[in-house]
Homo-oligomer: A and B are copies of this chain.
Amino acid sequence: MKLWEKGYNLNKIIEKFTVGNDYLLDQRLVRYDVALNTTHAEMLLNLGYLNRGEFEKINACLKNILELDKKGNFNLELKDEDVHTKIENYLTKELGSTGKKIHFAKSRNDQVLTDIRMYTKDELKEIIELVSELKKSLKRLSKQNIVMPGYTHIQKAMPSSIKLWSESFMEALDNDLNLIKAAYTLNDQCPLGTGAGYGLPVKIDRAFLAKKLGFSKLQKNPIYTQNSRGKIELFTLNSINQVMLDINKISNDLLLFSMQEFGFFEIPKEFCTGSSIMPQKKNPDVLELLRAKTNLFASYQFSMQSIIENLPSGYNRDLQLTKNILMEGIDLAKECLSAINLVVRDLKVNKGNCEKAMTKELYATEEAYKLVKKGIPFRDAYKEIAKKIK
Segment of A116-124, A128-136, A217-225 in the binding face: A217-225
Which residues from chain B contact A213 at a C-beta distance below 8 Å?
none
A203 CA / B114 CA spacing, docked (Å): 54
CB-nearest residue of chain B to A312: B252
A295 partner residues in chain B, CB cutoff 8 A: 306-307, 309-310, 318
Which of B222, B261, B276, B291 sits near A3, CB closer than 8 Å? B276
Say whether A67 faces chain B, with CB atoms less than 8 Å apart: no
A282 at the interface (CB under 8 A from B): yes
A205 nearest CB across to chain B (Å):
16
Docked-complex contact B276 and A221, CB < 8 angstroms: no
User: Taking each of A8, A171, A220, which has the highest tally of chain B beta carbons within 10 Å of its own beta carbon?
Assistant: A171
Q: How far is the CA of A170 from the CA of B10 in the complex (A)?
A: 28
Give the distance to chain B from A134, nearest Cβ to Cβ, in Å. 14
Contact with B along A149-165 (1 / 0, CB 8 A): 01111111111100011
Given A153-B315, A338-B13, A361-B280, decide whether A245 and B379 contact each other with a Cβ distance below 8 A. Answer: no
Whether A227 touches B168, Cβ cut-off 8 Å, given contacts A288-B318, A313-B249, is yes
Binary B-proximity of A187-212 (CB < 8 A = 1, otherwise 0): 00000000111111110000000000
Which chain B residues lie closer than 8 Å to A104 at the CB level? 369, 372, 377-378
Q: Which residue from B106, B153, B179, B308 sits with its C-beta under 8 Å from A281?
A: B153
A296 interface hit (Cβ, 8 Å): yes
Q: Is the CB of A151 within 8 A of B271?
A: no
User: CB-CB < 8 A to A24: which residues of B?
Assistant: none
Residue numbers in B under 8 Å from A151 (CB-CB):
312-314
Q: Does A259 touch B at the CB level, under 8 Å?
A: yes
Tell which of B219, B221, B369, B385 touches A164, judged by Cβ atoms closer than 8 Å. Answer: B221
Q: Which residues of B contact A216 (CB under 8 A)?
A: none
A303 within 8 A of B: yes
The stretch of A25-33, A55-63, A71-79, A84-92 in contact with B is: A84-92
Q: Are A382 and B279 in contact (CB under 8 A)?
A: yes
Cβ of A350 within 8 Å of any chain B Cβ, yes or no, is no
Other than A152-B316, A160-B198, give 9 A-B pairs with Cβ distance below 8 A: A8-B269, A108-B276, A158-B278, A171-B221, A175-B228, A178-B186, A256-B312, A261-B261, A301-B301
Contact yes or no, B299 A299, CB < 8 A? yes
CB distance from A215 to the nearest CB of B (A): 14
Within 8 A of B (CB), among A32-80: 49
Q: Is the CB of A318 within 8 A of B342?
A: no
6 contacts across the A-B interface (CB closer than 8 A)? A100-B379, A103-B277, A106-B277, A152-B197, A179-B182, A302-B302
- In order of increasing CB-CB distance, the 8 nearest A-B pairs are A4-B274, A100-B377, A292-B318, A168-B223, A288-B317, A310-B310, A153-B283, A100-B379
Q: Which of A225-247 contact B (CB under 8 A)?
A: 226-228, 231, 234-235, 238-239, 241-242, 245
